[in-house]
Structure 1
Amino acid sequence: MLIDWFTVIAELVNFLILVWLLKRFLYEPVLKAIDEREKKIASELQHAADVEKEAESRLIELQRKNEAFDNAHAQMIKDAEQEAVEEKRTLLNEAHREYDALRMRLQETLKHEETSLESRVTGRISAEVFSIARKVLQDLSGSSLEAQIADVFCQRLRESDPEDVAAMKDAVSRKSLNPLVRSTFPLSSSLQERIQAVVRDVFSIDTQLRFEEGDDMVGGIELSMNGHSVSWSVRSYLDSLEKMTAELLEGAE
């Protein structure tokens, strides 16, 4: 079968456009919001510094008055000095508390926004990767992405360590529930039968498997039983792609 290079190149161009759109409409608004918050914090810190400076000016003024009226108003000046010191301490403590509170809120906000942005970017990248992968696989081999993932998972089962095989057999013998196969996507009856046959051959388990979908997996399949599991997913590949995309965006900035 000939490779349709035009389709492949078009998909790559679509992916690069997606990366640019993510930078333009996701990263830049977030950075702008962060910059505005930093300016607001700087303004409030400057206000606190002005208040502190004003308190120090008042202290100097009170000290000058103390020199002029030392003999006649010694006790009054002493009280004024004490009041100024206490006021300065109060203002400084209040400014420090406000600064610490603002810094903590900013850190929490930045952390939350970073986590939210990473989650959205990961979801978009995952969706685009699967879309491109489906089209490329169909163009190159005429097979579906789900079938390819099932084939890789079956191969992973065949390559299981002897210890994992023994542990799974023991888990089945001691557990009343049948082994569970979880996947990101619904498995067709033919794929279920294929996995059932491989599990029977590899683990010598003559029992009916349970199948269900799970949103916590990213493009993968997992066989689990009583704490033991064998799985395969594209999470590691997506993590590498996400890291590469982040480095690409940082370089573009």
Structure 2
Amino acid sequence: MQINWFTVIAQILNFLVLVWLMKRYLYKPILDMIDAREKKIAGQLADAKATKSEAKAEQDEFNKKNRVFDQQKNALMDKAIAEVGVQSQKLLAEAKNNARALQDKLEKAAKDQQADVNHQREKETEKEVFAITKKVLADLADVDFEAQSVHTFIKRINGIKEAEKATFIKALHSASGPILVQSAFDLPEKQQAEIKSAVTKILGAQPSFEFKTAPGLIGGIELTTKGYTLGWSITAYVNSFEKSIGEAGKQIPVTGKKHHAIK
């Protein structure tokens, strides 16, 4: 078989022309497009890397700010807890002081109330004692005892001091009405005469008299004229003692004090 060199050379030329045409019009645009695509991808990758770096920087900054915020928050919480602890201790101390003060007031009020109750009981007991005393003395008093009271009363008239006698005489002279003589029992005429004689001896004149019974005068006699009273009776002694006890009770402070009962 013979080789047709013309055909071979023609095919070689055709092949070279085809390669040049392909390189000129096909490969080069494709390669340029690939290069452009690669450059574009490389740019996008660079942008993505830059964006990632910025995002990482922003993330780091955010984390840093979060750490600072957490530190500040913890510091504020610690400070708040400390202040709350101090305030709670202060409030607790104030509450204890207020409770102690309230307890003291309640105890004082209870003591005062108990003292008032005791004082009132003492006063009521005193009244009962004096009432019973008066009743017993009234039951024991009789006519003979009353007669003895008249003699004691006359001695009282005869034994008054000069200053009191002057007041007595002045009151008797200034009186327009009769001299009132009161006793627990009706006085016999003899005893009335003795009283009149004793008074007349002091005045130097004969005044008018009015004799009345006063059951409240236990074992005694009372003479009254122009606001002046002269008398002797067990009732007067009991009333005087009762008055002195009452005045002594007023002088004793009730609050916070313990009253001593009369034995």
- The TM-score normalised by the length of structure 2 is 0.50
Query: How does 1:1-253 map onto structure 2 within 5 Å?
Result: 73-134=81-142, 143-183=143-183, 185-188=184-187, 190=189, 191-211=191-211, 218-226=218-226, 228-234=228-234
2:198 aligned counterpart, secondary structure:
helix
**Is the Cα contact below 8 Å between 2:150 and 2:221 reproduced in 1?**
yes
Question: In 2 relative to 1, CA 180–105 (structure 1 residues): closer, same or farther, beyond 3 Å?
Answer: farther
Aligned partners of 1:214, 1:104: CA distance in 2, in Å?
42
Q: Please, what is the CA RMSD of the aligned residues?
A: 3.6
Q: What runs of 5+ residues in structure 1 fail to find an aligned partner? A: 1-68, 135-142, 243-248
Letter in 1 for 2:107: Y
**Is the Cα contact below 8 Å between 1:172 and 1:178 reproduced in 2?**
no
1:144 aligned counterpart, secondary structure:
helix
Aligned partners of 2:91, 2:214: CA distance in 1, in Å?
66
Question: In 2 relative to 1, CA 216–105 (structure 1 residues): closer, same or farther, beyond 3 Å?
Answer: farther
Aligned partners of 1:176, 1:111: CA distance in 2, in Å?
46
Q: What runs of 5+ residues in structure 2 fail to find an aligned partner? A: 1-76, 243-261
1:173 aligned counterpart, secondary structure:
helix
The match for 1:19 is none
Letter in 2 for 1:145: F
Aligned partners of 1:124, 1:188: CA distance in 2, in Å?
26
**Is the Cα contact below 8 Å between 2:169 and 2:202 reproduced in 1?**
no
* Structure 1 position 153, deviation (Å): 0.9
Bigger CA radius of gyration: 2
**Is the Cα contact below 8 Å between 2:138 and 2:218 reproduced in 1?**
no
**Is the Cα contact below 8 Å between 1:179 and 1:225 reproduced in 2?**
yes
Letter in 2 for 1:88: K
Aligned partners of 2:160, 2:151: CA distance in 1, in Å?
14
- After superposition, the C-alpha distances for 1:6-59 in whole angstroms (9 at most, x for unaligned) are xxxxxxxxxxxxxxxxxxxxxxxxxxxxxxxxxxxxxxxxxxxxxxxxxxxxxx
Aligned partners of 1:211, 1:85: CA distance in 2, in Å?
78
* Structure 1 position 148, deviation (Å): 2.3
1:73 aligned counterpart, secondary structure:
helix
Question: In 2 relative to 1, CA 177–132 (structure 1 residues): closer, same or farther, beyond 3 Å?
Answer: closer
Question: In 2 relative to 1, CA 212–114 (structure 1 residues): closer, same or farther, beyond 3 Å?
Answer: farther
Aligned length: 166
* Structure 1 position 192, deviation (Å): 4.4
**Is the Cα contact below 8 Å between 2:182 and 2:213 reproduced in 1?**
yes
Letter in 1 for 2:118: L
* Structure 1 position 72, deviation (Å): 6.1
Letter in 2 for 1:206: Q
**Is the Cα contact below 8 Å between 2:217 and 2:234 reproduced in 1?**
no
